[in-house]
């Protein structure tokens, strides 16, 4: 099986090299047959890499421990789902998964039915295939998932116990999917530069690719935060760990890109900026993969050390150098059409949003590399940790969220200040009332009050905008409110999906503010029957339990939770020792309500029965997960395809008016559209 | 101008608002120090089971606090023992100020560039545009029209 996988990868390498070259030659010499053949090559690559993935899965499921990867990350006693997730549990497997996703995306690109940007596909596919070649090369040389051991182990090592969490089934593939996805916008951008087709075409072609990559990256990050919260057991969800930062960076620049391409569409500005953003986002995605997988930084994510580092650095260097160089050579073709009517317009908020998002990305990046700078300049080693990122990025993020509110109130093109004041009045008044209410309720930290007020403001503006739209539509069409509301959503899904994403972000922000300013923690050592109190909770230590499962030795402690004398329930934090991994793992117990989480960690115990606990009360953490769900929902609304009858109609009309002129060409186009729509139906 | 002032306010906020928490002195200090087991986490947060560093550091912090040292003095003690890298974030002085200020400086510089570019574009827009539509007062009726128009344009030209 291993040989089949390896050979499939080898053939995929040949096929992707062929496709990459054939696209260029076919396009330059104008040989359609060659382009078609290159297209088939992309499909073949996808098929071959799929065979390799299936071969690895087969080896995992049949416990073929002769293969080093299988022996390192799986064991006989693992459940089916975790066995499947072993594909991305380790280094080599996750690179194979990367290559597979890229091949899949590349195939979708060549097979996709498109009304615009068809001319861009060949060169874009070349870029995708070149990237594919890089990953296949890694898989065949330094990161071979099919590497065989010289002996046959009786059992594998199993999955790292920290990764045995449902979150781990979804966090890595989503994150990797996001990383991989940004290859497509990058490829189209490069293709636009190469072919000098620098109009809206490439932007229209990649909007939904960008959106889906962004969405995958968001889901990956949110699930990662949730995993950290429930599994790592330190009570937080985001540690500003270098690898977390690495996934935040392309998310930030990708978010900026999603917004700035709208500016190019609407106003013909920011053409160069969009190119720069997509180049940076793609490079940061590769950088993210590199940091996660290179093992140069120690963190919870580094599950292997390999020699991948130099390869990645060279690839990123070549990418940046050649793409920025190409941009430089084409820069004259990218001048702004530049038509703006007013400084006070929604466009301005978009520009500011870009500025803050990229500023935030810069701050995170600076934090990452500053230890190196300090050591080089002063010769002093320093650490840049969570307090730095919180204090520097906190205000920037707040400004970004504030802009989301302002944006909803300002019209496109042009707004007058008096109009703005009028729109601001109600949301601002409501936000101030909420702010004052918070102060009365006992929220006294100035920064928290300010931040909560901003969140209230933004939430109000968005809801107000929805309300106004619904009301206007109701009056216009005589629908009832519900119908009017959904009609509004359906009429412009990207816009209202975007607003939904903003609401999700505000909810996340509320959760983050609440849990970082008002968390309380307490440590106590209790004998059975003794109690401790934290905030308004009283916890009574009932008993400790020790039991053995097949692979673990578990110690759990039961605590009864009281609030004002009323029993709320029991929580059971535990600790177990994983036999196969020779590692002990803390399993926290969380009692979650919308207002706050009670978070219990079992620290240790002595022979006399005294048991130590660390108890935290984290306010509003559930809002983060709810906000995450809302965000994903909004992303899906924005992503959901429009009904596609329009382009065909336009083309049919065009043919009717044009008549027999250039019949051949337009006829071809229609046939293509028809045949693929039929294929879709079938 | 407004933007610059906003920027300045944020810098100020960032530098002033070191979140004061209600936690114990032990927690406060251990949140400022990095665990030395290689986990990159603060002493307060390191949960590695085999970590030899965090528990010892916590005990030492408590000892120093019990000796009557203030939180700052305890942190200072660790800096002299372990060097500056024991701090979770670089102290705001000397070269480190670059890290603390540069992001905001970059944003302010960017804001100025954005402002100038916008001004230029608006100027060009005004000269090229024959008729400039003004929306002095946008009442509900106008809002309705604008919304309708925007949604219609979306349908016609796709993607707004």
- Please give the Cα distance from A537 to A548 (Å, whole number): 32
Which comes out higher in pLDDT, residue A473 or A300?
A473
Residue B132 has pLDDT above 60, yes or no: no
Q: Residues A45-64: pLDDT tens digits? A: 999 999 999 999 999 999 99
Among B38, B94, B135, select the one facing A419 at the smallest CB separation: B135
**pLDDT of amino acid A643:** 63
* Number of neighbours of residue A318 by Cβ within 10 angstroms: 12
Residue A653's domain spans which residues? 645-681
Quote ipTM for the complex: 0.84
Mutation site, A227, A391, A467, interface B, largest B CB count within 10 A: A391
Is residue A514 located within the same domain as residue A528? no
- Please give the Cα distance from A18 to A14 (Å, whole number): 6
Is residue A491 located within the same domain as residue A611? no
The answer to whether the CB atoms of A414 and B42 lie below 8 A apart is no
Confidence band (pLDDT; 50, 70, 90) for A361?
Answer: very high
- Please give the Cα distance from B160 to B146 (Å, whole number): 14
- Whether residue B20 lies inside any domain: the answer is yes
Is residue A11 located within the same domain as residue A78? yes
The answer to whether the CB atoms of A355 and B31 lie below 8 A apart is no
- Please give the Cα distance from A646 to A640 (Å, whole number): 16
The answer to whether the CB atoms of B133 and A340 lie below 8 A apart is no
Residue B12's domain spans which residues? 2-86
Q: Residues A523-551: pLDDT tens digits? A: 889 999 999 999 889 999 999 999 888 77
- Cβ–Cβ contact A584 with B under 8 A: yes
- Please give the Cα distance from B140 to A472 (Å, whole number): 8
Q: How distant is the Cα of B62 from the closest Cα of chain A, in angstroms?
A: 13
Instruction: Give the residue from chain B lying closest to A242, CA to CA.
Output: B40
- Whether residue A357 lies inside any domain: the answer is no
Say if strands A574-578 and A583-587 run parallel, antiparallel, or are unpaired: antiparallel
**pLDDT of amino acid A306:** 57
Cα distances (Å, whole numbers) of residue A451 to A257, A597, B17: 26, 21, 12
Residue A386 has pLDDT above 80, yes or no: yes
Is residue A323 located within the same domain as residue A436? no
CA angle, corner A119, sides to A118 and A121, nearest 5? 70
**Residues A643-663, mean pLDDT to the nearest whole number:** 46
Q: Chain B neighbours among A 84-123 (CB < 8 Å)?
A: none
Radius of gyration from C-alpha coordinates of chain A: 28
Mutation site, A421, A492, A603, interface B, largest B CB count within 10 A: A492
In the block, residue with structure tokens 């009429």: A491
**Residues A663-669, mean pLDDT to the nearest whole number:** 38
- Whether residue B103 lies inside any domain: the answer is no
In contact, A599 and A235? CB cutoff 8 Å: yes
Q: Residues A135-174: pLDDT tens digits? A: 999 999 988 999 999 999 988 888 877 777 888 889 999 9
Q: Based on the structure, what is the number of domains in chain A?
A: 4
- Please give the Cα distance from A464 to A430 (Å, whole number): 11
- Please give the Cα distance from A176 to A136 (Å, whole number): 16
- Please give the Cα distance from A676 to B11 (Å, whole number): 55
- Whether residue A631 lies inside any domain: the answer is no
Q: Which residues in chain A touch residue B84, judged by CB atoms under 8 angstroms apart?
A: 380-382
Confidence band (pLDDT; 50, 70, 90) for B49?
Answer: low
The answer to whether the CB atoms of A392 and B14 lie below 8 A apart is yes
What is the token pair recorded at A410?
């300002």
**Residues A223-244, mean pLDDT to the nearest whole number:** 88
Among B87, B119, B134, select the one facing A383 at the smallest CB separation: B87
Confidence band (pLDDT; 50, 70, 90) for A294?
Answer: low
Count of CB contacts below 8 A, A vs B? 233
- Whether residue A626 lies inside any domain: the answer is no
- Whether residue B91 lies inside any domain: the answer is no
- Please give the Cα distance from A438 to A576 (Å, whole number): 42
Domain end, chosen from A350, A370, A388, is at A350
- Whether residue B136 lies inside any domain: the answer is no
Confidence band (pLDDT; 50, 70, 90) for A586?
Answer: confident
Residue A673 has pLDDT above 70, yes or no: no
Q: Which residues in chain A touch residue B46, judged by CB atoms under 8 angstroms apart?
A: 234
Is residue A306 located within the same domain as residue A247? yes
The answer to whether the CB atoms of B159 and A265 lie below 8 A apart is yes
Phi and psi at A305, nearest 5°, equal -115, 130
Q: Residues A77-120: pLDDT tens digits? A: 888 888 988 898 888 899 999 999 999 999 999 998 887 888 99
Q: Chain B neighbours among A 282-311 (CB < 8 Å)?
A: 297-299
CA nearest to A229, candidates A603, A592, A634 = A592
**pLDDT of amino acid A229:** 93
Q: How distant is the Cα of B123 from the closest Cα of chain A, in angstroms?
A: 8
**pLDDT of amino acid B7:** 53
**Residues A597-615, mean pLDDT to the nearest whole number:** 90
Residue B19 has pLDDT above 50, yes or no: no
Among A351, A366, A492, select the one facing B154 at the smallest CB separation: A492
- Whether residue A375 lies inside any domain: the answer is no
Please enumerate in sequence order all residues whose Cβ is within 8 A of that of A123, keeping only pairs 6 or more positions apart, or say none: A23, A24, A27, A187, A190, A191, A194, A195
Is residue A649 located within the same domain as residue A605? no
- Whether residue A111 lies inside any domain: the answer is yes
Is residue A176 located within the same domain as residue A251? yes
- Whether residue B26 lies inside any domain: the answer is yes
- Please give the Cα distance from A577 to A561 (Å, whole number): 26
Q: Chain B neighbours among A 482-541 (CB < 8 Å)?
A: 491-492, 494-495, 516-522
Q: Residues A423-450: pLDDT tens digits? A: 888 899 999 999 999 999 888 889 999 9
Residue A494 has pLDDT above 70, yes or no: yes
- Whether residue A361 lies inside any domain: the answer is no
Residue A198 has pLDDT above 80, yes or no: yes
Is residue A572 located within the same domain as residue A662? no
Among B11, B23, B47, select the one facing A586 at the smallest CB separation: B47
Is residue A487 located within the same domain as residue A589? no
Q: DSSP string of A481-517?
A: HHHHHHHHHHHTHHHHHHHHHHHHHHHHHHHHHHHHH
Is residue A182 located within the same domain as residue A49? yes
Mutation site, A338, A420, A498, interface B, largest B CB count within 10 A: A338
- Please give the Cα distance from A545 to A616 (Å, whole number): 22
Instruction: Give the residue from chain A lying closest to B142, CA to CA.
Output: A472
Alpha helix segments (H runs only) across A62-120: 68-73, 80-85, 91-111
- Whether residue B152 lies inside any domain: the answer is no
Q: DSSP string of A3-36?
A: HHHHHHHHHHHHHHHHHHHHHHHHHHTT-HHHHH
% of chain A at pLDDT higher than 90? 56
Q: DSSP string of B12-35?
A: HHHHH-----SS-HHHHHHHHBB-
- Whether residue A368 lies inside any domain: the answer is no
- Whether residue B18 lies inside any domain: the answer is yes
What CATH code is carried by the domain that includes residue B46? 1.10.8.640
Is residue A210 located within the same domain as residue A298? yes
Give the burial string for B41-71 (b: 16+ CB within 10 Å, else e): bbbbbbbbeebebbeebbebbbebbeeebee
Among A383, A413, A475, select the one facing B34 at the smallest CB separation: A383
The answer to whether the CB atoms of A339 and B40 lie below 8 A apart is no
- Whether residue A148 lies inside any domain: the answer is yes
- Whether residue B79 lies inside any domain: the answer is yes
Confidence band (pLDDT; 50, 70, 90) for A328?
Answer: very high
**Residues A362-385, mean pLDDT to the nearest whole number:** 89
Q: Which residues in chain A touch residue B154, judged by CB atoms under 8 angstroms apart?
A: 491-492, 494-495
Q: Based on the structure, what is the number of domains in chain B?
A: 1
- Please give the Cα distance from A50 to A205 (Å, whole number): 26
């Amino acid at each position: 099986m291993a040989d089949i996988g390896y050979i499939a990868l080898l053939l995929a390498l040949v096929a992707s090299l062929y496709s990459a070259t054939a696209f260029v030659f076919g396009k330059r010499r104008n040989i359609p047959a060659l382009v078609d053949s290159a297209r088939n090559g992309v499909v073949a690559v996808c098929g071959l890499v799929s065979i390799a993935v299936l071969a690895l899965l087969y080896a995992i499921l049949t416990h073929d421990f002769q293969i080093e990867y299988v022996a390192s990350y799986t064991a006989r006693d693992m459940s089916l789902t975790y066995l499947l997730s072993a594909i991305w549990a380790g280094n080599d497997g996750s690179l194979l998964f990367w290559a597979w996703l890229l091949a899949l995306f590349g195939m979708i690109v060549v097979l996709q039915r498109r009304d615009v940007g068809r001319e861009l596909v060949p060169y874009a596919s070349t870029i995708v295939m070149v990237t594919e070649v890089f990953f296949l090369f890694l898989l065949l040389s330094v990161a071979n998932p099919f590497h065989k051991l010289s002996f046959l182990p009786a059992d594998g090592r199993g999955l790292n116990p920290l990764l045995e969490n449902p979150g781990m089934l979804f966090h890595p593939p989503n994150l990797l999917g996001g990383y991989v996805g940004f290859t497509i916008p990058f490829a189209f951008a490069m293709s636009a530069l190469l072919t000098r087709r620098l109009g809206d075409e490439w932007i229209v072609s990649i909007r939904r690719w960008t959106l889906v990559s962004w969405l995958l990256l968001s889901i990956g990050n949110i699930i990662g935060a949730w995993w950290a919260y429930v599994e790592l057991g330190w009570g937080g969800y985001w540690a500003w760990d270098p690898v977390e930062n690495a996934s935040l960076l392309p998310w930030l620049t990708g978010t900026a890109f999603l917004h700035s391409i709208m500016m190019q569409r609407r106003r013909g500005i920011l053409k160069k900026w969009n190119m720069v953003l997509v180049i940076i986002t793609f490079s940061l995605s590769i950088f993210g993969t590199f940091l996660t997988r290179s093992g140069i930084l120690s963190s919870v994510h580094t599950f292997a050390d390999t020699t991948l580092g130099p390869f990645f650095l060279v690839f990123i260097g070549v990418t940046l150098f050649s793409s920025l160089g190409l941009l430089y050579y084409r820069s004259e073709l990218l001048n702004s059409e530049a038509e703006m009517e007013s400084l006070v317009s929604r466009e301005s908020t978009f520009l500011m949003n870009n500025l803050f998002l990229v500023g935030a990305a810069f701050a995170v990046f600076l934090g990452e590399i500053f230890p190196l700078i300090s050591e080089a300049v002063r010769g002093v080693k320093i650490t840049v940790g969570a307090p730095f990122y919180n204090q520097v990025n906190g205000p920037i993020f707040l400004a970004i969220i504030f802009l989301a509110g302002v944006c909803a109130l300002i019209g496109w093109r042009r707004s007058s200040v008096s109009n703005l004041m009028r729109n601001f009045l109600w949301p601002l008044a409501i936000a101030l009332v909420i702010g004052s209410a918070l102060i009365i309720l006992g929220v006294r930290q100035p920064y928290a009050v300010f931040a909560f007020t901003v969140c209230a403001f933004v939430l109000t503006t968005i809801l107000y905008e929805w309300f106004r739209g619904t009301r206007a539509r109701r009056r216009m069409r005589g629908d009832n409110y519900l119908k009017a509301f959904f009609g509004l959503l359906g009429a412009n899904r990207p816009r209202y999906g975007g607003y939904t994403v903003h609401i999700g972000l505000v909810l996340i922000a509320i959760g983050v503010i609440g849990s970082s300013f008002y968390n309380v923690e307490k440590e106590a050592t209790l004998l059975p029957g003794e109690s401790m109190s934290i905030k308004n909770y009283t916890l009574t230590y009932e008993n400790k339990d020790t039991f053995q499962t097949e692979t673990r030795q578990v110690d759990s402690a039961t605590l009864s939770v009281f609030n004002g004398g009323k029993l709320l329930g029991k929580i059971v934090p535990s600790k177990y020792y994983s036999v196969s991994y020779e590692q002990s793992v803390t399993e926290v117990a969380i009692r979650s309500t919308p207002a706050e989480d009670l978070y219990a960690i079992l620290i240790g115990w002595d022979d006399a029965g005294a048991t130590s606990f660390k108890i935290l009360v984290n306010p509003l953490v559930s809002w983060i997960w709810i906000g995450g769900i809302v965000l994903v929902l909004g992303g899906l609304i924005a992503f959901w395809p429009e009904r596609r009858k329009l382009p065909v109609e336009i083309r049919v009309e065009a043919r009717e008016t044009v008549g027999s002129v250039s019949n051949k060409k337009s006829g071809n186009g229609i046939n293509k559209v028809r045949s693929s729509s039929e294929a879709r139906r079938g | 101008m407004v933007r610059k002032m906003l920027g300045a306010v944020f810098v100020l906020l960032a530098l002033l608002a070191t979140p004061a928490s209600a936690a114990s002195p032990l927690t406060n200090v251990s949140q400022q120090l990095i665990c030395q087991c290689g986990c990159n986490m603060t002493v307060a947060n390191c949960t590695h089971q085999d970590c030899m560093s965090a528990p010892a550091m916590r005990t030492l912090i408590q000892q120093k606090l019990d000796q009557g040292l203030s939180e700052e003095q305890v942190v200072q003690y660790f800096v002299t023992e372990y060097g500056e890298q024991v701090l979770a974030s670089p102290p705001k002085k000397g070269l480190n100020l670059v890290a603390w200020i540069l992001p905001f400086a970059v944003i302010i510089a960017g804001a100025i560039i954005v402002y100038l570019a916008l001004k230029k574009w608006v100027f060009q827009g005004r000269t090229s545009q024959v008729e400039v539509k003004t929306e002095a007062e946008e009442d509900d009726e106008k809002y309705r029209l604008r919304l309708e128009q925007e949604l219609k344009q979306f349908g016609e030209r796709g993607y707004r």
